[in-house]
Structure 1
Amino acid sequence: MTTQPTQLDAAHFDSKARQWDDNPLFRERGLKIADAIRQAVPLNRGMTALDYGCGTGLLSFPLKDELGAILMADSSGGMLEVVDEKIAAQGVTNMTTLQLDLMADPAPTQRFDLIMTAMTLHHVPDTDRILSIFHDLLNPGGYLCIADLDQEDGSFHGPEVDVHHGFDRAELSRRAAQAGFAAVQFQTVFSIAKEHDSGTQDYPVFLMTARREDA
């Protein structure tokens, strides 16, 4: 993976927000990751959660009835507008939104029992720093759930997008442990098939779960 990619401009995601939920692959991916979190973490209505890089909420909405307060955070105002509309349309009472880039903005003062993020980590320039911030934002015993791409050859986004080319699981596990996390585990939850000139290529998506165990 590249060492210091730049984040995609929020305007890129703003422009795609209105059509995001029309993509059945995005919807299915969100449901599969949500189900994997449901199986890996003992969710309950007393848990506070942060969905970082929430997009239009395709990960959190399936879990909203199994969690307490959920903070939906994203750097894209356009994505958050869609989330706000869905919250209003569905009468959801335990979700709030916040425009947030943890690489540039102050971290929230509140602490969480669960932090989840889907297909966001490879857009974050400094992996070690974001893992450390996540650790600080969790209550002792809290869970971190990261869904992202396995290490790939750069063809998922293409050369014009400067992001991490997925993650080696052993290396990411080491980085998570270095940030203070324990009980790091991985499972494959989804696979994205993309057509290239050379044929179809599959890109596995993992879920990494870990815990903050210190007081």
Structure 2
Amino acid sequence: MANTDKFEMIAKMYDTAERIHIAKVSSDAIREYLVDAKHKNAIDFGCGTGLVGMNLLNDFHSMLFLDTSINMINQVKQKISDFNIQSADTLCFDFEQEGLAELNADYIFMAQVLLHIPDVEFVLSRLFDVLNEGGHLLIVDFNKNENIVSNIVHNGFDQDELTDMMTKIGYRDIQSKTFYTGSKIFMGQDASMFVLYSQK
């Protein structure tokens, strides 16, 4: 994934009060769409230090924390060890580089991950293949923000455009809504966040 180098450097200092708060509202937004998840397995895709996934651990049967940054994964491993969590595992892997045929999940969620992925359609197609039939992909990210000018991240997403792209890939029952607005939460700019639900 793009920006892995940056995340390698900030892994140990990543869990700031603001990020913990954003993770909490993000996981609450994801939880609204979970159905019978206690018997299902999930992937926290682009998990970072696992802030969102840790909030949702008790909602699933098991969870795989997946990220391209080994330092981020090591932070998750430490949390799993510290809290003696039995239902979680970790994987350091880059979906943009190679496929992982044996990987599958009932739920995949990604929070503030898509904006770091150069080829969004490619990765969403890969994730579609990983989902079990009837599985669910949940995306939390920023709404498109014209005030953001960056050559390292997308400046957010238009929910309708993202829905169209995902429909072409094969996702169905897509619904999305804006659920949070915050001050200076995206590259120093005020921004709003959406949650998008879809099914395979």
Answer whether TM exceeds 0.5 for this pair.
yes
| Aligned match of 1:62 | 55
Q: What SS does the corresponding residue of 1:41 show, helix, strand or coil?
A: coil
Say which of 3, 8, 17 aligns to 2:11: 17
Residue 195 of structure 1: how far off its partner (Å): 8.6
| Aligned match of 2:118 | 125
Give CA-to-partner distance per residue, 1:58-103, whole Å, 9 cap, x none.
1111111110121111011111110000000001011111111110
Larger helix fraction of residues: 2
- In the alignment, structure 2 segments of 5+ residues that lack a partner are none
Alignment RMSD: 1.8
Give CA-to-partner distance per residue, 1:139-172, whole Å, 9 cap, x none.
11111000111111252xx53x422111111100
Number of matched pairs: 199
Q: What SS does the corresponding residue of 1:96 show, helix, strand or coil?
A: strand
User: Are 1:180 and 2:175 counterparts?
Assistant: no
Partners of 2:141 and 2:182 lie apart in 1 by 11
Superposition misfits of 4+ residues, deviation over 6 angstroms: none
Say which of 79, 96, 105 aligns to 1:103: 96
8 Å CA contact 2:44, 2:63 repeated in 1: yes
Q: TM-score, normalised by structure 2?
A: 0.93
Partners of 1:36 and 1:45 lie apart in 2 by 17
Partners of 2:89 and 2:17 lie apart in 1 by 25
Residue 39 of structure 1: how far off its partner (Å): 1.0
Of structures 1 and 2, the one scoring higher in RCO (CA 8 A, sep 6+) is 1
Q: What SS does the corresponding residue of 1:50 show, helix, strand or coil?
A: strand
| Aligned match of 2:79 | 86
8 Å CA contact 2:46, 2:113 repeated in 1: yes
1:58 counterpart letter in structure 2: L
Q: What SS does the corresponding residue of 1:59 show, helix, strand or coil?
A: helix
- Structure whose CA Rg is larger: 1
| Aligned match of 1:113 | 106
Residue 110 of structure 1: how far off its partner (Å): 2.5
Residue 108 of structure 1: how far off its partner (Å): 4.8
Q: What SS does the corresponding residue of 2:52 show, helix, strand or coil?
A: coil
- In the alignment, structure 1 segments of 5+ residues that lack a partner are 1-5
Report percent identity of matched pairs: 29
Q: What SS does the corresponding residue of 1:7 show, helix, strand or coil?
A: coil
| Aligned match of 2:196 | 208
Partners of 2:61 and 2:55 lie apart in 1 by 13
Q: TM-score, normalised by structure 1?
A: 0.87
1:16 counterpart letter in structure 2: I
| Aligned match of 2:26 | 33
| Aligned match of 1:167 | 157
